[in-house]
A and B are shown apart, each in its own frame.
Chain A
């Protein structure tokens, strides 16, 4: 909430500068112009926002499920962890700019390449957070469970998994800030509809105001998802800490 006055100040300064400097709106549109144009184009914007939301959510759900399953596998099979983790690190070094068009080339203009690209970008932080979370389990709690005769699977379910939750939500928050951007970039590389393709068209038509309107929507989406993770965390971790 303390960020709000800063944001308002930045927008106001921008508005004044755009109006007083004489720079044409085709180069630097004022915030007021962006808002008006966004409102006029609201139907087209909305039509293009929906596919982006779909790609983001499906890609992210796929990525979360995959990260969870793999983290469990790697927790139970230590040698596999040493073999696979470097591969996942390499997956994070791939430049999205180069990979995105290729993935579109391989999987077409449909939903699949978007889901894959969102997953590629968001998967690793969550996997790493989960693995570190499992390892953060208090040794005394594990010793206690062993003394009670708990099996490895029970120790995982009763201690390692809940210990990993705070780490998981941190990873989730980091990942989710990349998710919308990744979806837009995937659309940019090739799509029929979506914010990415909308931005591409607006840029080609010399409409920076519409580009920025789409950027604003993208930020709003990310912030909403970010807030949602907090809400979910509060429900899943009622003990608070």
Chain B
């Protein structure tokens, strides 16, 4: 589905990504783990077209063109001046879909995202978890081929975060979205993913790749050890 080969980014003379390669298959949930500041978010900036890079990015075997990604930024980036429903339809509005049609299209999803009855609320009236679900809903309704999730639960308290992870896992089982998640939370990566790439410190390369199967606790320990080794 998504193939990234030998992707390199240099910013102001400093190498941020160094021949980074990874693949995401259709319906697969893949996480990228790495130390803070390793350039995880830089990868997403390249994919969303905000940054130039050398290397090869292919979607379904063809070179990258158009915008096959739906991006969910760190924090929720909900617009405080738009009601929840208008935040969720933002991507469709940018695509030029009339408001009534966009609203009709997303209407059945509110219940699933636990947001039914809050359509007319302003973002500041929603709880942290609800805001995050609204941001995720805004991402998936764009109907793109790959979801890019940039530490989506980083700003939440531990309990809300665990709840959101469990909820996302269920949603993902039902929909089989193709997703690439960036995080520095090992447990989150193990809980949600099919596969995990571990990045080195800057300049970032893929150092390890793990398939999530069987004993997740042992895998968690193993990944943590790899990350700590990388620090030494």
Contact = CB atoms under 8 A, between A and B. Distances in A.
- A-B interaction: yes
Contacts of B75: 140
Interface stretch (B28-36, B88-96, B170-178, B207-215): B88-96
A144 B77 contact: yes
Interface string B25-65: 00000000000000000000100111000000000000000
B154 interface: no
A30 to B, nearest CB: 50
Interface string A141-170: 101111111100010001100100100000
Interface stretch (B66-74, B98-106, B193-201): B66-74
Contact of A144 (B73, B81, B122, B123): B73
B79 interface: yes
Interface string A182-204: 00000000000000000000000
Contacts of B82: 239
Contact of A140 (B77, B91, B123): B77
A144 B67 contact: no
A82 interface: no
Interface residues of A, number: 20
A148 B124 contact: no
Given A158-B90, A165-B81, A237-B81, A144 B71 contact: yes
Contact of B122 (A146, A162, A239): A239
Interface string A219-240: 0000000000000000001011
A241 interface: yes
A210 to B, nearest CB: 47
A135 interface: no
Contacts of A237: 81
A57 to B, nearest CB: 27
B114 interface: no
Contacts of A147: 48-50, 67, 69-71, 148
B139 to A, nearest CB: 9
B230 interface: no
B48 A141 contact: no
Interface residues on B, range: 20 to 34
A154 B77 CA distance: 16
Contacts of B73: 140, 143-144
Contact of B94 (A143, A148, A239): A148
Q: Is the interface of A mostly helix, strand, loop or mixed?
A: helix
A106 to B, nearest CB: 43
B163 interface: no
Nearest to B76: A140
A165 B49 CA distance: 29
A162 B81 contact: yes
A145 B81 contact: no
B71 A143 contact: yes
Contacts of B148: 147
Given A140-B75, A162-B81, A240 B122 contact: yes
Contact of A239 (B49, B74, B81): B81
A158 B94 contact: yes
A146 B80 contact: no
Contact of B45 (A143, A145, A239): A143
Given A140-B75, A143-B50, 14 more contacts: A138-B77, A143-B71, A143-B73, A143-B77, A144-B71, A148-B67, A148-B71, A148-B90, A148-B91, A150-B94, A154-B94, A158-B79, A239-B124, A240-B124
26 contacts: A140-B75, A140-B77, A141-B77, A141-B79, A143-B45, A143-B48, A143-B71, A143-B73, A143-B77, A144-B90, A146-B49, A147-B50, A147-B69, A147-B71, A148-B67, A148-B142, A149-B94, A149-B95, A158-B94, A237-B81, A239-B80, A239-B81, A239-B122, A240-B124, A241-B80, A241-B124
Interface of B: 45, 48-50, 66-67, 69-71, 73-75, 77, 79-82, 90-91, 93-95, 122-124, 142, 148
The 10 closest A-B pairs by CB, nearest first: A147-B71, A147-B48, A140-B77, A162-B81, A148-B94, A140-B73, A239-B122, A150-B94, A148-B91, A149-B67
